[in-house]
Every structure is written in structure tokens, then in C-alpha cells.
Amino acid sequence: MIPVKGFEGANVAVLGLGRSGLATARALHAGGAVPLCWDDNPAARATAEAEGFSCQDLMKSGAFDTVATLIVSPGIPHLYPTPNPVVRAALDAGVPVDNDIGLFFRSVATHDWNNFDIAPRIVAVTGSNGKSTTVALLQHILTQAGRRSQLAGNIGRGVLDIDPPGDGDVVVLELSSYQTELARSLTPDVAVFTNLSPDHLDRHAGMGGYFAAKRRLFAEGGPDRAVIGVDENEGAFLAGQLSEGVTDDRVIRVSASRKLAGPGWNVFVRKGFLSEYRKGRQAGSIDLRAIQGLPGVHNHQNACAAYAAARTLGLAPRQIETGLASYPGLPHRSQTIAEQDGVRYVNDSKATNVDSAIKALSAFSNIRWICGGLEKAGGLDALRGQTGTVVKAYVIGREAAGFAMQLDVEAEVCTTMAIAVERAITDAQPGDTVVLAPAAASFDQYDNFEQRGDDFIAAVTTRLGLG
């Protein structure tokens, strides 16, 4: 646990008592603060009270009279589309609003660090797609190289729930736009921007607000090194803003679509080969084509980002290559779950938006595509012309018929996962790949994308007789 600093003896309100909210309450208590907790869900309040925390309705008159700050869980809107009423009440009372990420960065460093031979390093990764794979891949590379590391943030443990980092340790954080937008302190040693595509637009009032939320990690944080994916305009713009000139190697540009030239520090992939160039000379090269845990161009981009971050931490190219080669992949992200009778079955339930689904479809050929769910803002127009690898789509979700009508491939309305899997397996021929890449959120039928992916795995293994 990371005890929170700066609030000794003060009342700190905590709104939202899920994983991060409870971890925040514990860390505040460990640091000497008095957490005042609230959640609209009675069961969540009961869990907090069972741990000894006081729950107080933060909408009552005068609730913020003695409160030093309000800590908000990531899923609770603080500005768009409209602020949560508790957040608005805090703002009206002049009470600062922060989140667990802000508390982490203000609290993680201790006087003990002065006695370390090597100060701990914090790597923070943000972007639209590939964050989870990039952080998991980086941690795997570090582990294989014998470097102690912890994974936290939007994946794994809450940031305040990790162990205090020791001499030479690395903390790898996945940070969403919800987290970077609100955190009052953002000071990573290395910051990574993977890419940007439309997502969470209602929460950020459009693409400009969405990009601004991501940009805060770099503009507010002032990292020693910045790894920037430059395949979109926003990434290229961000790299340009951070760089002092063409030879400034504090910025490492990353691309999965083209060779990057110039005297700066560049990492890119062409035809499945990762290359690192520095000061105009090649410093490393890795063949990614045979790595099963990293299929497709989008995963090659993730490999570039993880490679670049690992290089900033002092790892040699051959150490990184060893880690890449043994990377098993993450559940629900281009995860091969079975191969039978010449047909491969891939679970990419994390493909919850159109862009991530397009990237999943580009990684395979002869695809039997299971898709559908709760459409996100922006619709499905971007899918048109991007489904050339798809033989047929099998559409799930409560609005499956409407979803299917927007696709430019043959589509069968299945509604449920069980029916979609049954139909796809029946139709599949040797050489085909059955891919779950929904291009939509899961909340119309499932609690989360993990549950949806688990349902796909269960349906496939049962139908194939593997369960």
C-alpha cells in the first residue's frame, strides 16, 4: 500500500467504493487522513463499513464544510456530459477534486529513495487502444530481464494498493483518459502515448477534449522521456510540441505504418520487422512475425511502444527480444483460445470500439466475425471498406438487427453468443479464423468485456468438446 501524504488529520471525501475507491480509503487511512466514504450502491457502502470506514451522504447540506478534498472514482463524470451532483456540490463549496492517480503521484516518493542506489522509475501508458497490451508486455520484458516491477492503474491493482517500490524497481501504469483528465499530480519518469481514435466522446465533449485529457500526462507531467505513437495527427502534433528539435532524444517516435527517418530516436515496424534508429544509425532489429502473442500490425505498434519504454529503462535490444518472444498475450486481446480442424478461434472481446475492431480484423484472414453490442458514439461508418478479410459476420446484442444492417459484409443476426458461435463453427472451413471483435461495448448483455469474452470461450470450448 502507498500511504497518502498531505492530509494527516484531515477529512477526505471518497466518492465511489469500487476497487479503486476502497483502495483509496485504505491508503488515506494509512496516511493519517479520515476518509468519509459514499456510494449510491448500499452493498458498496456495506462493504466499506465492514472495513470500519464511515459512510456519509455527501449530498446532505453542509457535507463539505469540513472536507479538505474530494476523491472521485474513474467512472464518475466530473464535467461532461454533466457533473455528478456530488462533484458539483464539492465544486460549489470550493473543495478541490482529485482521483487516486493524483494521490499516488504526490505520495509514492519517500525519503527512503535517497538511500537507493537506483531510484524507482514510473512508466505511465495512455492512448485509445493497446494500453493494456503495452503495459503487460513491458512488465513481461522487465521480468524476463530480472528487473522488479509492478503493474497497476487501469489494469491489475489499484495504484495505491501496490507495494512501495524499492531500489531500482519499476512501476508500470495503464492510465485511461478518465484518470489523466482529473489527476492533480502527474509526474511519470516515462510517459507513453500509443494512438488516438474516437472513444468516450460523450465523457470528453468530443475528440478535442478526449485528446486534451490524454495530453495532460505529458504537458502536466513533464516526463524525462516521452514515447509517442505518431501514426495519427494528434500523436505527431504531441511529439512536435514536446521536442526541442530534430535531435532531441527525450522524445521517441513510434510508428507501425512507415519508416521513420531523421537524426532523432525512432522505433518503427515494416513488414513485421521492428527497427530502432538513433542519430541516423540502426541500434536494434527484431523479427516480430513469428510471435503468436503479438499478431497483427496493431500489436506490432504495441511492441514498438514497449520496446522504446524498455530502452529508456536501460535494457539492451537482445534482452527485450527475449521478452517479446516469450510473451503469452493478454486474455480477451487477440487471444487464441483453440485450433481445431484447421480453424483458429480468437477472443478479442476488448475490441470495444470500431478502431480496435478494425485492427483485429486486419490481423487475420478468412474471418468468421462475431460482432455487435452497445454501439458507441460515432456509429459504425468507419467499418465500411475495412472488412475485406471477413467472410461473414455473426451479430450479437439486443440491437443485433440494426447493427447488422450497417455492415458492408454478409451478416447473420444471432442475438446471443451461443447462437453466433454455433453458426460460425458450422460454417467455418479449414483456413478460417473465428474472431470475436465486437466493435461495441458489452453492457447491453454483459457486465463487462471480460464476461463477454469468457462467454465466447465457454461457447467455443463446449461446442468443440474441449471443456
Supply the DSSP string of 96-108, one letter for each residue.
-EE-HHHHHHHHS
Between CA 327 and CA 330 the distance in angstroms is 9
Q: What is the CA radius of gyration of the chain?
A: 23
- Mean pLDDT over each residue of the chain, to the nearest integer: 95
Is pLDDT of 195 > 70? Answer: yes
Mean pLDDT, range 120-124, rounded to an integer: 98
Q: What pLDDT score does 403 carry?
A: 96
Between 198 and 33, the higher pLDDT residue: 33
Mean pLDDT, range 37-48, rounded to an integer: 96
CB 63 within 8 Å of CB 197: no
Is pLDDT of 95 > 80? Answer: yes
Q: Which candidate, 1, 25, 397, places its Cα nearest to that of 161?
A: 1
The SS3 of residue 259 is coil
User: Taking the model in full, what pTM does it have?
Assistant: 0.86
Is pLDDT of 293 > 90? Answer: no
Share of the chain above pLDDT 90, in %: 88
Confirm or deny that 296 is annotated as ligand binding.
no
Residue 5 DSSP code: P
Q: What pLDDT score does 208 carry?
A: 95
Looking only at the bridges linking them, the beta strands covering 67-72 and 54-55 are unpaired
Q: Which three cell numbers stand for residue 173?
A: 501504469
Q: What pLDDT score does 467 carry?
A: 67
Mean pLDDT, range 296-313, rounded to an integer: 95
Q: Identify the burial level of 1 via C-beta atoms within 10 angstroms of its C-beta, where 0-12 means exposed, 13-18 middle and 19 or more buried.
A: middle
Looking only at the bridges linking them, the beta strands covering 11-15 and 34-38 are parallel
Q: What pLDDT score does 157 carry?
A: 87
Mean pLDDT, range 287-305, rounded to an integer: 90
Q: What pLDDT score does 355 carry?
A: 87
Q: What are phi and psi of 366, to 5 degrees?
A: 50, 60
Positive/negative CA dihedral, 41, 46, 48, 53: positive
Confirm or deny that 243 is annotated as ligand binding.
no
Mean pLDDT, range 351-372, rounded to an integer: 93
Q: Cis peptide leading into 430, omega within 30 of 0? A: no
Confirm or deny that 229 is annotated as ligand binding.
no
Q: What pLDDT score does 19 carry?
A: 86
CA 252 to chain centre: 20
CB 413 within 8 Å of CB 404: yes
Q: Which candidate, 222, 227, 130, 220, places its Cα nearest to that of 174?
A: 130
- Torsion angle of alpha carbons 29, 30, 32, 36, nearest 10°? -10
Confirm or deny that 285 is annotated as ligand binding.
no
Mean pLDDT, range 405-411, rounded to an integer: 96
Q: Can you tell me which residue has the cell 463539505? A: 64
Q: From residue 180, how far is each of 203, 248, 298, 323, 361 by CA, in Å?
A: 13, 25, 23, 29, 29
CB 158 within 8 Å of CB 152: yes
Between CA 238 and CA 227 the distance in angstroms is 10
Q: Which three cell numbers stand for residue 300?
A: 506490432
Confirm or deny that 133 is annotated as ligand binding.
yes
Confirm or deny that 176 is annotated as ligand binding.
no
Domains of the chain: 11-98 (3.40.50.720), 109-325 (3.40.1190.10), 335-463 (3.90.190.20)
Q: What pLDDT score does 220 carry?
A: 87
Q: From residue 362, how far is each of 30, 70, 104, 359, 385 by CA, in Å?
A: 48, 44, 38, 5, 12
Between CA 353 and CA 356 the distance in angstroms is 6
Confirm or deny that 149 is annotated as ligand binding.
no
Q: Which candidate, 271, 335, 284, places its Cα nearest to that of 311?
A: 284
Q: What are phi and psi of 4, to 5 degrees?
A: -75, 135
Mean pLDDT, range 87-107, rounded to an integer: 97
At 331, the pLDDT band (50, 70, 90 cuts) reads confident
Q: What pLDDT score does 378 carry?
A: 77
